[in-house]
């Protein structure tokens, strides 16, 4: 049988990797989704302004709503 100190040390040594795995599974996917959402919103906003500026006077701009 192991002494209690050795078991406690093994549990403490495994706590970091377990928390890291949980963070990777639970935190990173929503973080990537939010980052993609922000990037898409900014890119869409910039491209709409550019399209309206370069195609000013076109009758197709009014159909983009």
Task: Provide the residue-wise pLDDT of the chain in tens; the chain has 65 residues.
Answer: 556 788 888 888 899 999 999 999 999 999 999 999 999 999 998 898 888 888 888 877 677 66
The 3-state secondary structure of 8-64 reads: HHHHHHHHHHHHHHHHHHHCHHHHHHHHHHHHHHHHHHHHHHHHHHHCCCCCCHHHC
CA distances from 46 to 6, 14, 15, 59 (A): 59, 47, 45, 21
The pTM for the full model equals 0.57
Helix 4-26 / helix 28-54 crossing angle, nearest 10 deg: 20
């Amino acid at each position: 049988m192991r002494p209690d100190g050795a078991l406690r040390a093994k549990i403490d040594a495994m706590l970091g990797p377990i928390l890291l795995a949980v963070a990777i599974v639970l935190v990173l996917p929503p973080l990537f989704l939010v980052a993609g959402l922000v990037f898409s919103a900014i890119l869409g906003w910039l491209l709409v302004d550019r399209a309206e500026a370069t195609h000013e006077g076109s009758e197709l701009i009014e159909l983009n709503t």
